[in-house]
C-alpha cells in the first residue's frame, strides 16, 4: 500500500494487499453503507463470508485498482478505478470510477471527495483521459459531489435498478481528465 496523507486523521490510499484489519474494516464499512442505502448495488448486507470473498476478489482482477479512505486509521469508504482490457484498444483512453461508497459514520469529512480525486489522479498517471461513472438517482450526495468535480451528466436510464419492487433511475456521467481539467472543481466545457 502507498498512502498519501491528506489531513491529520484522514487518508486515501491504493490497496494492493489486505493488511491486518483491512478486510474487517472493508466488510464493516460496506455493511454499514448497504444498511444506509448506498451499497453500490447490494440492497441487503450479504453474509460476512460473501463480503470477504468479494473484497479478496477485487484485488485479483486485472486492470482494477482499489482505493480506500481512512478516518483515524479505519477504512470508512472506497472506490475502484476500472480500466478497459488490453484487447479493447478503441476505449483504452477511458476508464470507470465504480463501486464507490462511504459508511455513514465516515461521511461529512470530505473523504468521498478525496477518494474521487485520488482516483482521477491515478487514472491520469495511467494515461486515462476520460473517466465514466454511473449512479442511482437516489444517491443525491454522490451526484452533488460528482457534479462539483466537473462530471457532466450524459444520460438517464429510467430502469437502472430495482429496489423494493420499484424501478429507480440511474444517471451516467463522464469527465475529461486532460490537463485543462486537472483538479477541476468546475463543470467541463
Instruction: Confirm whether 65 is domain-assigned.
Output: yes
CB 95 within 8 A of CB 122: no
CA distance 27 to 45: 10
Among 19-33, 87-101, 173-187, name the most confident range: 19-33
pLDDT for res 186: 42
| Mean of pLDDT values over 169-183 | 84
pLDDT for res 182: 58
The model's pTM:
0.88
Instruction: Confirm whether 44 is domain-assigned.
Output: yes
Evaluate if residue 69 carries a pLDDT over 70.
yes
pLDDT tens by residue, 78-99: 999 999 888 888 888 899 999 9
Instruction: Confirm whether 46 is domain-assigned.
Output: yes
Evaluate if residue 46 carries a pLDDT over 90.
yes
Instruction: Confirm whether 187 is domain-assigned.
Output: no
**Mean pLDDT for the chain overall:** 89
CA distance 3 to 114: 12
| Mean of pLDDT values over 31-41 | 87
| Mean of pLDDT values over 61-76 | 96
Instruction: Confirm whether 114 is domain-assigned.
Output: yes
pLDDT for res 185: 44
- Which of 21-25, 129-133, 182-186 is least confident? 182-186
Instruction: Confirm whether 81 is domain-assigned.
Output: yes
**Residue-number span of the structural domain to which 115 is assigned:** 2-181
Q: Tell me the C-alpha to C-alpha distance, in Å, between residue 129 and each of 12, 65, 124, 133, 151.
A: 21, 16, 6, 14, 13
pLDDT for res 133: 97
pLDDT tens by residue, 111-141: 999 999 999 999 999 999 999 999 999 999 9
CA distance 95 to 83: 5
CA distance 6 to 37: 27
Strand 2-7 to strand 94-102: parallel, antiparallel, or no bridges (unpaired)?
unpaired
Question: In the chain, what is the straight-line distance between the N-terminal and C-terminal CA atoms, in Å?
Answer: 35
Evaluate if residue 71 carries a pLDDT over 50.
yes
Evaluate if residue 3 carries a pLDDT over 70.
no
Question: CATH no. for residue 86?
Answer: 3.40.630.30
| Mean of pLDDT values over 157-181 | 91
CA distance 72 to 11: 8
Instruction: Confirm whether 189 is domain-assigned.
Output: no
Domain count, the chain: 1
Q: Above pLDDT 70, what percent of the chain?
A: 90
Instruction: Confirm whether 186 is domain-assigned.
Output: no
- Runs of H (alpha helix) within the chain: 22-35, 48-58, 111-125, 140-148
Please tell me which residue, 116 or 185, carries the higher pLDDT value: 116
CA distance 45 to 73: 23
Amino acid at each position: 500500500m502507498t498512502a498519501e496523507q491528506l489531513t491529520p486523521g484522514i487518508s486515501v490510499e491504493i490497496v494492493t494487499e489486505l493488511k491486518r484489519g483491512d478486510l474487517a474494516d472493508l466488510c464493516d464499512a460496506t455493511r454499514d453503507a448497504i444498511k444506509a442505502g448506498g451499497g453500490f448495488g447490494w440492497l441487503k448486507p450479504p453474509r460476512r463470508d460473501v463480503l470477504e470473498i468479494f473484497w479478496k476478489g477485487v484485488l485479483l482482477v486485472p486492470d482494477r485498482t482499489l482505493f480506500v479512505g481512512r478516518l483515524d486509521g479505519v477504512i470508512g469508504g472506497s472506490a475502484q478505478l476500472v480500466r478497459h482490457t488490453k484487447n479493447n484498444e478503441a476505449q483504452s483512453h477511458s476508464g470507470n470510477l465504480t463501486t464507490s461508497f462511504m459508511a455513514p459514520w465516515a461521511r461529512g469529512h470530505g473523504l468521498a471527495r478525496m477518494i474521487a480525486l485520488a482516483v482521477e489522479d491515478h487514472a491520469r498517471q495511467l494515461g486515462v483521459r476520460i473517466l465514466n461513472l454511473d449512479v442511482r438517482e437516489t444517491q443525491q450526495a454522490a451526484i452533488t459531489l460528482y457534479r462539483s468535480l466537473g462530471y457532466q451528466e450524459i444520460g438517464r436510464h429510467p430502469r437502472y435498478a430495482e429496489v423494493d419492487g420499484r424501478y429507480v433511475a440511474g444517471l451516467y456521467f463522464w469527465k475529461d481528465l486532460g490537463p485543462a481539467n486537472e483538479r477541476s472543481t468546475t463543470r467541463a466545457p
